[in-house]
Structure 1
Amino acid sequence: MSTVPWNTKELTIGELSERSGVPASALRFYERQGLIHSRRTTGNQRRYHRTTLRVVAFIRASQNVGIPLSVIGEVLAILPEGAAPTEQFWIRASDCWREELNARIERLERMRDLFTECIGCGCLSFGQCALVNPRDQLAEKGSGPHRLTSEAPAR
């Protein structure tokens, strides 16, 4: 149970870690990446504004749906320093990466469908399989997983 008073405006890294459930090492990493900010005391200790709790919650929620930290940082850049994410901010952030999430979903569905097709013969060789890659048409595109990364599967 946290011993931090509800009206405390600043948190130590230990308090922020305890309240957010995020290890202090991850918080320091987020700070090095510019995702969160602290001020330093005269003893060089970090102090985080209470609103950082919401920023850390936003970072973790974003990571849980697969958003890379670099993209999270781009979205956090529109949030004024010291401000907590609001409902409008969350909506705007969601709009920023809806396209990326939809593209990721499409890639995963394509991978699922391709692997399902391949179960028919069991060879798992896209380079040689007559069902998935007749006459090795994909070899013309060079090396790489073209069926898994292209927009439409080759037939």
Structure 2
Amino acid sequence: MTTSHGLSIGALADRTGLAVSAIRYYESQGLISPWRNAGGQRRFLRADIRRLSFVMIAQQFGFSLPEVRALLDQLPGSRAPTPADWRRLSTGFRNRLDQRIEALQNLRDNLDGCIGCGCLSLPKCKLYNPDDRVRSKGRGPRYLMGDRPE
């Protein structure tokens, strides 16, 4: 099969290790955009191998499909992305990974202490969060979400 004819969904599944049904799902989510040949079969760019590989990696790091789609939307849709295109995308992805790493480290380091949830259930909370003042910052475990104690 020549590149000009694109990859079949089976060939794409074979190259990525994804099930055909997963590829169809990712297509329905706007992560890849195949075209149809004269016989009505889906055809994919070879660049879709890299796109789907990126999807799988990003999901392993906890990114949602809407987040992944927003990142992939930065790539050109009308042509195969160049190395420069991927570098540009990776810069933003790297920043988001750094934020996740910081949040995970914060969780690891502070899980046994006050997390700013406003629960007031631990005796220590009267020290860390008197009068439930962290509540003014919003719902949830505020310190684990990035807020800092005053």
TM > 0.5 fold call: yes
Asked whether 1:27 is paired with 2:23, we answer yes
- Give yes or no for contact 1:40–1:46 (8 Å, CA) kept in 2: yes
Q: How many aligned positions are there?
A: 143
d(CA) in 1 for partners of 2:46, 2:76: 14
Aligned positions of 1:2-151 closer than 5 A: 7-9=2-4, 10-81=6-77, 83-117=79-113, 127-134=120-127, 136-137=129-130, 139-140=132-133, 141=135, 144-151=140-147
- For residue 23 of structure 1, what is the amino acid of its counterpart? A
Identity value in percent: 34
Structure 1 length-normalised TM: 0.73
C-alpha displacement of 1:16 = 0.8
Structure 2 length-normalised TM: 0.75
Structural RMSD (CA) = 2.8
C-alpha displacement of 1:78 = 2.9
d(CA) in 1 for partners of 2:140, 2:70: 30
- Give yes or no for contact 2:103–2:145 (8 Å, CA) kept in 1: yes
Can you list the C-alpha shifts for 1:46-101, whole angstroms capped at 9, x where unaligned? 12122221222222233233333222222322322253343322221121133322
Q: Give the secondary-structure state (helix, strand or coil) at the position aligned to 2:44.
A: strand
C-alpha displacement of 1:27 = 0.8
- For residue 13 of structure 2, what is the amino acid of its counterpart? S
